[in-house]
Amino acid sequence: MQTAEIRRRWLDFFERKGHTVVPSASLVSDDPSLMFTVAGMVPFVPYLSGLVPAPYPRATSVQKCIRTNDIEEVGKTPRHGTFFQMCGNFSFGDYFKEGAIQFAWELLTTSEADGGLGFDAADLWVTVYEDDDEAIALWKQHSTLPEERIQRLGKDTNYWSTGQPGPAGPCSEIFFDRGPEYGIDGGPATDDDRYVEIWNLVFMQYQVADVKSKTDFTILGELPKKNIDTGLGLERVAFLKQGVDNMYEIDEVRPVLDRAAELAGKTYGADHTDDVRLRVIADHVRSGLMLIADGVTPSNEGRGYILRRLLRRVILSMRLLGVDGPTFEALFPVSRDAMKGSYPAVERDFDFISRAAYTEEKTFLRTLASGIEILDGAIDAAKSGTRAVTGDTAFLLHDTKGFPIELTLEIAEEAGVTVDEGVFKTLMQEQRERAKADAKAKKGQRADLSIYKELRGQGETLFTGYDELTHESRVLGIVVDGKPVPAASEGQVAEVVLAETSLWAESGGQDADQGLIVGDGFEAEVLDVQKPVPGLIVHTVRVEVGTIAVDARAETRVDADYRRGATQAHSGTHIVHAALRQVLGSNAHQAGSYNKAGYLRLDFTHGEALSTETKSEIEEISNLAIRSDYEVVTREMPIDEAKALGAMALFGEKYGDRVRVVDIGGPWSRELCAGTHVTSSAEVGMINLVSESSVGSTNRRIESLVGLEAFRSFAAERAIVHELSAGLRTPRGELVQRVQDLGAQLKAAEKKIAQLEAAKLAERVPELLAGAETLGSVRAVLGSLGTVGSADDVRGLVLQLRDRLADEAGVVVLAGDAGGKPVVIAATTAGARDAGVRAGDLAKLGAQVLGGGGGGKPDLAQGGGADVSKIDDALAEIRRSIGA
């Protein structure tokens, strides 16, 4: 049974049972505490927790998920994957344990011919929480399971909670027995790979507090509404139904594995180590495909860093299989074809997806080449010394170049040296501990959203600001320092929730409105407006006059000038986006934006910097659209109708069933957008592109001033030009050439000065040679040059002196003050290196004394620091080291 067919049967079954079919949410989670959607229940958390009223009594979904906490286990076990699909059925105060158990047993054991999954009841086991007698009785009543195949287990495996105060409850897990050839008898309690967990039924029935750990908490009592949250692993069911040994061999993953094996000239199943690498490749290519399809692009932070790590693990695994060149152009189309049946977007957007992946591969292959240069240098040093690459170097390669230790070990072994794994492991452990401490600190800083539960339960906050700047409403709640209070008085900062508001909450790239909330006897300045939970708008205010209380009448007043500027910037963002696509082509997608009064920032997919001519063209097209005074029309309609009209749905954005469509000049610019906008393009005023830069290997960023701020910038530049023209006594039209001429003159003068300084230093060669001293078995020239132009000047003199000592065991170490920073450079002849003296060691030693770092090759090395007063001390330490 194909994976897509299992998916279809799941949704059809639960739809027949009265569940609303909910499409998969994005892999990019709405939950600020989560980087990705890590479980099928994540999009439903506001409903399961009661924070937001559920829009339906029961629901079902097949949710895309990403987890990387077990990334090192990928390929080694039959079930660990970074991307997976979780089938779920959910009840929000509707059916409970009995319904969940009945549905699960019916779907699993109904024959394939009758629309079920066709599992043999004799292969199924169930675990329940040790005290949950009710669940055991229900399993006996609604299944054919004998009592010995219903096992009681403890809190560590069969009790679910978020790890925070809130809803929790026992769970019941369903396992498939793969047979004695896969392990020992005894059921899931043995924790053996023979028994594969396929479905977890969570009975969310208690409220817990004082949560100290997964198993240590206090049950306060039963929830007023009991919920059901279940999760069935689609890939796990697929590999069982397809008769293969693991998830990497199912129809949606195996084609990539086979193509990778073909590229590497390997036979899957012939070698365990190669098999693990092939599985990693197959899993990570699919994960990369799906992440990019949801708008994530490679970068050095956050979600982009996780994607980058996955893609680089593919490249490194292919290298360890013997393939050094690019492979993504062969692998990604195979994954696309395997996944498009379930997710058509991977085919529709493949041009964008492939460019992001291929660019990342090209970039990392260059990074690998530079890393190998570092490793080659470390291997050379190891061969002439301890015969081991230092753990520091191995960690540096891992941390900055993405080298896994396995690659470093393999290359070192081929060269006949070892790696100090002990130091490497110590540094890795220290890094993990720092990361854990950082994560713990961030977790502790997260707000407790439960304080908004009662407020959200009173209904959604109505935003009236599309049509008005002032609106009278009622205060529903006030929060101070994370706690609900009846009132906030003068001088206090508080969060205020109103029934309706004309103030825009930050979202969709548009910054929050500025303004006031006023009422009988009070006035509060609005500092921020946010949506901490879906449907609830919260105003952070400073009470300037009087006391604001719950149930008071209050009027929201938007700062009209700020709103005007914000709408100019937001409409300006749409205009620049349309201009970008007109100039660069339809492959230039918006990948993020931010706008506020007078300013816009637009990230877009493009692999190279824009030329000056291209930027000017984009700016001109944008301003021509403004001059054309296009009508700006906003309409609300079903999302399918909007897409049929050609409205752009932007990567990374999330949309409901009904959306707002913003047209600028009809189809010239047509996007889905909930923000506030001008009524005609002329109201934007002016676009002034002030910056274009890189924000990743596949993304660029344009920044622009808008409206009055754009004019002010042009006026400031005009003033600068006027001042330069007057100061240089040069007409405005000749100013550029005049500045270029002055620059050329300055460069020539600097070159002449450098030549004179180098010649002056060269005159010191006889003097320095005359001061050479014998240290141990080498002839050494050590000296301080005082103030020098640059490190290059010192290096040139060092090399001249080394050439004069070439026929003997010679060492040269010179130091100087280069612009207030100490520099030390060491060089050795072949004879000195044979005697065991290495330039890299000397430079590193001197740099340590100088309060900095350094190193290099055995023949030439450089160090630096922060304290020029320690130059003599550094040379003295080097002298002692050579003579030791």
Min mean pLDDT across 323-337, 383-397, 475-489, 497-511 is at 383-397
Query: Which pLDDT score, from 0 to 100, does residue 446 have?
Result: 40
Mean pLDDT of 474-495: 94
Asked if the model's pLDDT at residue 780 lies above 60, the reply is yes
Residue among 581, 587, 572, 583 at smallest CA distance from 703: 572
Mean pLDDT of 86-97: 96
CATH architecture of 3-245: 2-Layer Sandwich (3.30)
Q: Which tens digits make up the pLDDT trace of 538-561?
A: 999 999 999 999 999 999 999 999
CATH topology of domain 764-883: Diaminopimelate Epimerase; Chain A, domain 1 (3.10.310)
Element (H, E) at 706: strand 699-706
Query: Which pLDDT score, from 0 to 100, does residue 444 have?
Result: 41
Q: 573 with 591: CB under 8 angstroms?
A: no
Q: 573 with 593: CB under 8 angstroms?
A: yes
Listing DSSP states for 434-501 in one string gives HHHHHHHHHHHHS--GGGGHHHHTT-PPEE-TTT-SEEEEEEEEEEETTEEESEEETT-EEEEEESEE
Mean pLDDT of 583-605: 90
Q: 524 with 498: CB under 8 angstroms?
A: no
Q: How far apart are CA 681 and CA 306, in angstroms?
A: 40
Pairing status of strand 166-177 against strand 124-129: antiparallel
* Residue 294, helix vs strand vs coil: coil
Mean pLDDT of 704-711: 95
Exposure string for 285-313, b = 16+ CB within 10 A, e = fewer = bbbbbbbbbbbbbbbeeebbebbbebbbb
65 among the known binding-site residues?
no
Superfamily of domain 563-715: Threonyl-trna Synthetase; Chain A, domain 2 (3.30.980.10)
Q: How far apart are CA 663 and CA 133, in angstroms?
A: 60
pTM for this model (two decimals): 0.73
284 among the known binding-site residues?
no
Indicate the residue type of 239.
Answer: F
CATH architecture of 451-558: Beta Barrel (2.40)
Q: Which one has a higher pLDDT value, 300 or 510?
A: 510
Mean pLDDT of 672-677: 94
* Residue 731, helix vs strand vs coil: coil
Q: How far apart are CA 423 and CA 42, in angstroms?
A: 40
Q: What is the mean pLDDT of the chain?
A: 90
* pLDDT class of 442 with cuts at 50, 70, 90: very low
Using the Cα atoms of residue 390, residue 392, residue 393 and residue 399 in order, give the sign of their dihedral: positive
Residue among 259, 252, 256 at smallest CA distance from 237: 252
Note the helical H segments in 94-230: 97-109, 133-142, 155-158
Residue among 462, 693, 702 at smallest CA distance from 569: 702
Q: How far apart are CA 476 and CA 92, in angstroms?
A: 25
